[in-house]
Structure 1
């Protein structure tokens, strides 16, 4: 059984451990889960990920309770087919998906996954990010499936839904992204759930001015039958070899202009760095590239989160990560056996 210390990160370390345990069949015990957070231990959204992994891996689990800082997980196999999980809050549906999808992919099985909860959560990849930035790269690595969003779920109401139909797929293959190539598409979209239209229009005006977007490169999406109020500004740059999605969220007592300035600044920084992968997508690529046994990409300064995640992956798989500073704000991350 692999012994892990969860103090170095948040829920992502636990989700990575669950995903790799399912992929390898290796049991693990983690202590200090989210120990340095204001609310340490497992929360409802983490427990949904544990329950999902338990169902997919036919696993025996100890310590899966609210507030627990210790967990033992022993997988016994892979249960494909149809699964449905409800978080019950605005906890991230996409993070639950990323917990179980790698193992189902690795084992070459078919599955239909439905997850209800938050689709647009400030602390997690949005459904748009998964659909537009992450999954296209996974398809290049070999996954075969269809992703859809059946409803938006914003904090705190949740109520959104995502589905993924996985077809039997080839095991992950190596992917190398040294350059992004030319930017071929730009778009900014304001998403409004029970929020006045003017909020989105003000956000888009800032994005147009800061990023030089044309009138046809912006749009508003008003959520039909909203569960609760919510607002996000999503800016997408699609290049020849990769896509970057940057998202900002409307917050009480924060102006629409301030939200848009923050997202536009992040997008501008990625453009100026001339790298293939932004900081958040970099975090998401480590695990699938490690499963392939080989991969690399250019990115901006790696987060501490990425480094701790890489260290955990190395405990499960016979791979090694390298983080190389190429100067001028450009970094290269690579994984090899």
Structure 2
């Protein structure tokens, strides 16, 4: 039994999600206290509870204290079972964070899986579905995994109702890879998504992107939805390179001008472009776990966040690897290598 303190480091939901994933894969039970202690509303929110319930269903786990608001939890996993699953968050909580918990574990299932999650698909403080599909999914593919992600319906706060389908083929041994360079740029584009809102809002966002980045109109895509649940807006910028794809995003809000939404995404992209790291801050955080499962790997990254340091520490509690960060030729390098627990 591994004991964890959810207030350590970054103190958010990633501690719980990583623990659930690795508990399922390694068969190691865990207890965690002070769940999301550093958040404005500590404890399990609906999306975190659904992640726990989904993990429990996939591996037949015994779980204690699985309730909204719970700040402690005990999880005893059983064997991972592939198959067809459907989970409804019941709110606009993030579907992608639930999927991030399940996808690596289902690679170790006894048969292929198809997982549908209903909830929010484009949320503040969570990766959009396009990030999972284009950025994270590409790294998994490079490691030998077959994971297909399909956005069936957009879901925005507060209505939710979005739907994502993930199809996972078992892959019990991931390949060790290195991503040290981005390589030449292959494609770049911005997407402004509007659900039941005037298209002019998205056009204003794209105008800012085009002006600040000097991109032509054919790199600026307006996606106007009319049959989704509730109003919503997301702006995403995708940059694809030879070795890595990154997706940067911001979610519109009625209290935030379209120009401010666009500036936020462009600033994040330019910060990445001005660095020498192959992986951006959020992708770097997420690929440490599959690299640990592979038994090693290396990549350069934009910056080391507290989120990443916390995630690395939790991974090391379950898997016999050492995750370290060092400076080499003016660049930050993450090194994942085998060690002894």
Both proteins in one fold, TM over 0.5: yes
Q: Is the 8 Å Cα contact of residues 150 and 165 (structure 2) preserved in structure 1? A: yes
Contact 1:146 1:165 in 2 (8 A): yes
Partner residue in 2 for 1:28: 30
SS at match of 2:285: helix
Match of 2:132 in 1: 130
Q: Distance in 1 between matches of 2:255 and 2:24?
A: 43
Residues 121-270 of structure 1 mapped to structure 2, 5 A cutoff: 121-270=123-272
**Aligned residue number for residue 332 of structure 1:** 333
1:167-187 CA-to-partner distances (Å, cap 9, x unmatched) read 233521112100001111110
SS at match of 1:7: coil
Structure 2 distance, partners of 1:79, 1:223, is 36
Could you say which residue in structure 2 is the equivalent of 1:48? 50
Q: Deviations over 1:185-215 (max 9, x none)?
A: 1101100011111111111011011111111
Q: Following the alignment from structure 2 to structure 1, what is the Cα–Cα distance between the partners of residues 86 and 148?
A: 16
Cα RMSD between the aligned structures? 1.2
Deviation at 1:66, TM superposition (A): 1.5
Gaps of 5+ in 2: none
What's the TM-score once normalised by structure 2's chain length?
0.96
Partners of 2:92 and 2:164 lie apart in 1 by 13
Corresponding position of 2:108: 106
Measured in 2, the distance between the counterparts of 1:226 and 1:107 equals 33
Give secondary structure in 1 for the equivalent of 2:215: coil
Q: Deviations over 1:146-174 (max 9, x none)?
A: 21011001111110000012223352111
SS of the residue corresponding to residue 47 of structure 2 reads: helix
**8 Å CA contact 2:108, 2:172 repeated in 1:** yes
Match of 1:18 in 2: 20
Matching of residue 83 in structure 1 with residue 114 in structure 2: no
Match of 2:4 in 1: 4
TM-superposition CA deviations, 1:79-128 (whole Å, max 9, x none): 21111100011111111111112121034531111100010011111001
Q: What is the TM-score of this pair, normalised by structure 1?
A: 0.97
Note the 1:302-321 alignment, pairs <5 A.
302-321=304-323
Q: Deviations over 1:204-244 (max 9, x none)?
A: 01101111111111111112402111111100110110011
Unaligned runs of 5+ in 1: none
Using the alignment, how far apart are the partners of 2:250 and 2:234 within structure 1? 6
> Could you tell me how far 1:301 is from its partner in structure 2?
1.6
